[in-house]
Amino acid sequence: MSARDPSPEPDRETPVLRVRGLDVAFDTHRGTMQVLDGVSFEIAPGEILGVVGESGAGKSMVGAAVIGLVPPPGRIAGGTVELHGERIDTLRGEDMRRVRGRRIGSVFQDPLTSLNPVYPIGRHLIETIRTHLPVSEQEARRRALALLADVEIPDPESRIDQYPHQFSGGMRQRVAIALALCAEPQLLIADEPTTALDVSVQAQVIRVFRRVCRERGTAAMLITHDMGVIAEAADRVMVMYRGRVLETGPVREILDRPREPYTRALMAAIPSVHARLHRLPVPEIGADIAVAAALPPAQVETAAAPADSTPLIRVQGLSRAFDLSAGWLVRTLARQPKKVLHAVDDVSFDIARGRTFGLVGESGSGKSTVARMIAGLTRPTAGTVHFDGIDRWGDAAQTAALRRRFQMIFQDPYASLNPRWRVDRLIAEPVEVLGLAASAEETAERVAEALRRVRMSPDDGRRYPHQFSGGQRQRIAIARALASQPEFIVCDEPTSSLDVSVQAQVLNLMRDLQDEFGLTYLLISHNLAVIRHMCDDVGVMQRGRLVEQGSAGEVLDAPKHAYTRALMAAVPDMRQAPAAAVRATA
């Protein structure tokens, strides 16, 4: 194998990547801000190093510093980065570009940002191969086909000429892995490659990633906040906190016997798909997660009191079809039949008062469409939704009275909060629209009370959404939902964008509010551990149909439907055998 920039032959004794005392600083008008402080680690050939920590810990900045992509005004202020014994942190311009892509490949969180939507997949791969390797167009296409087959893209001969939008999310991520492997790099850096994927698709991507690293002897840095992914994919793990490395070691050693209080708190914050706790043992909101004394004991779930026999929500025969056909004239001239997507097909279930019902399934299974029909945002094609005996889509006068009793919490709190409004105005909006307060003073008191319920200060109402963290913004969204004093809240992936510790605090808050006010939840998630932790009853959706439902323990511990069993088998398990041992026996 030859290239335009010959690289040294790999030495099995020399680490592929050696980082020593890495410092990254940002020079701002307020002074110098230290983002990385003395980061040191090594990665051997064929080894996968997992890098974990919360948002802001410096995980992605380490990857950016290694490949020379620290955004300005950031700079490497100290330390060294060596690739097979050769310093690369001093390289600039074209010299660094030859290393990037040729010797170091990158896989990012959202594959659509790595793929040009107007280029077919083949052009991405062939262009990258010919940029780094002196091969002909025909040879580059042959290699591209081999790469697509290697990352398990079905029918690569026809798929190579298709565009990114014609691939599913998991297939696009596998194409991104193939793109990173085009020039046969010595090091692969994957930054949150599975965060936005469903459990089954995530399992496929992990398997492909692990296999290509093992077969090619490629070293890899896997950056994630998902400890289950680390348990399944990595050989060693490095835990970061506020720009520093707290501890590094074999995966099982760190997961089973963490030394640092912060690592122990991270482990405690992860809900289990096998058991249910009433509250996760994490520090209360506002406490420092890295302080051992702030970690409370776990509260084991006890048997729930019998729920009211009359369901608060009754869904019967709910269906929704979307017409995806071209216009009438085009269909007539082309003699095309109508294309109808049955997003939801004959779904029925009850939600008892004061309980939580979870809907799980892959993307496109119809979960969010069901939620929107229940919340009154999408009219069903067929079927009924009854709230406390009242038809949600019945008489307008009756349904108007239901508006204050319903609320919804969305996946992305920043997208659901007007960035130009202060927090107090955001929370006051439903109170004012529904006419729930007689005066401005009463509205202000409701806003302050809603903020206090979600463990925030009334003074926070004077600030704007961009001045808060992701977890704080989600608490603001919960406060807005609580302002109208609802009985039922639809939660559509409310914690999927949050770190594990912030997720645990939000889940504890939701449980506390349910205990205090008797709230009823419909929780939609592809995270089965979150579903197990929060839900009393569970429904599993596949291709618009409810294939299994029952109590959370029955459905998740002894699933009857093959699809449910496949979902459970795909969940990354922190208690599994060591990753290296699994690979050795594969």
pLDDT tens digit sequence for 174-199:
898 889 889 889 999 998 887 767 77
Which is it for strands 48-52 and 219-223: parallel, antiparallel or unpaired? parallel
Identify the pLDDT of residue 10: 43
Residue 327, pLDDT > 70, answer yes
Res. 393 pLDDT band, cuts 50 70 90: confident
Q: Quick check: 238 and 246 in contact, CB under 8 A?
A: no
Q: Are strands 86-87 and 74-83 parallel, antiparallel or unpaired?
A: antiparallel
**How large is the average pLDDT for residues 148-173?**
85
238 forms bridges with which residues in the sheet?
51, 248
Judged on CB neighbours under 10 Å (0-12, 13-18, 19+), 500 is: buried
- Least Cα distance to 122 among 74, 158, 90 occurs for 158
What separation in angstroms does the CA of 434 have from each of 79, 426, 484, 486? 59, 14, 8, 12
The whole-number pLDDT of residue 555 equals 92
- Whether residue 170 contacts residue 201, with contact meaning beta carbons closer than 8 Å, is answered with yes
Angle subtended by helix axes 440-453 and 470-482, to nearest 10: 130
Cα separation, 577 vs 515, in Å, equals: 37
Architecture of domain 45-68+93-259: 3-Layer(aba) Sandwich (3.40)
For residue 346, how far is the Cα from the chain centroid?
Answer: 29
Could you give the C-alpha distances from 561 to 68, 201, 347, 467, 566, in angstroms and in order?
Answer: 49, 19, 16, 46, 9
Beta bridge partners of 244: 241
CATH code linked to domain 313-570? 3.40.50.300
Tens digit of each residue's pLDDT (9 = 90 or more) over 427-448: 999 888 888 888 999 999 999 9
Check pLDDT > 80 for residue 479. yes
Tokens of 95: 């010299």
Rounded CA-CA distance 146/29 in Å is 51
Tens digits of per-residue pLDDT, 275-311?
Answer: 888 888 776 555 555 554 455 555 555 445 444 567 8
Query: Could you tell me what percent of the chain has a pLDDT over 70?
Result: 90
Q: Where are the alpha helices (DSSP H) in 380-422?
A: 396-402
Mean pLDDT of 390-398: 79
SS3 (DSSP) at 553: helix
pLDDT band with cut points at 50, 70 and 90 for residue 532: very high
CA distances from residue 253 to 5, 97, 235, 247, 273 in whole angstroms, order as listed: 40, 37, 11, 11, 21
SS3 72: coil
Q: Mean pLDDT across the chain, nearest whole number? A: 84
The confidence score (pLDDT) of residue 314 equals 94
Distance separating alpha carbons of residues 238 and 256, to the nearest angstrom? 14
Give span(s): CATH 3.40.50.300, the chain: 45-68+93-259, 313-570
DSSP secondary structure code for residue 458 in this structure: G
Max Cα separation, the chain? 78
Q: Nearest-CA neighbor of 34 among 238, 244, 224? A: 244
Tell me the C-alpha distance between 470 and 465, whole Å: 9
Contact 174, 208 (CB under 8 A): yes
Note whether 510 and 495 are within 8 A (CB): no
SS3 content of the chain, % helix, strand, coil (to 5): 40, 25, 40
Determine which of 48-52, 381-385, 579-583 has the lowest per-residue pLDDT on average. 579-583
% of the chain at pLDDT higher than 90: 37
Assess whether pLDDT exceeds 90 at residue 22: yes
pLDDT at 76: 93
Pairing of strands 236-241, 48-52: parallel
Q: String of b and e for 119-151 (b: at least 16 CB within 10 Å)?
A: ebbbebbbebbbebbebeeeebbebbbebbebb
Taking alpha carbons only, the member of 70, 62, 14 closest to residue 38 is: 62
Q: What is the pLDDT of residue 340?
A: 81
Q: pLDDT at position 437, please?
A: 86
Residue 412 reports pLDDT greater than 70 = yes
- Residue 573: predicted pLDDT: 66
Q: Assign 575 a pLDDT band (cuts: 50, 70, 90).
A: low
And the tokens for 30? 């307020």
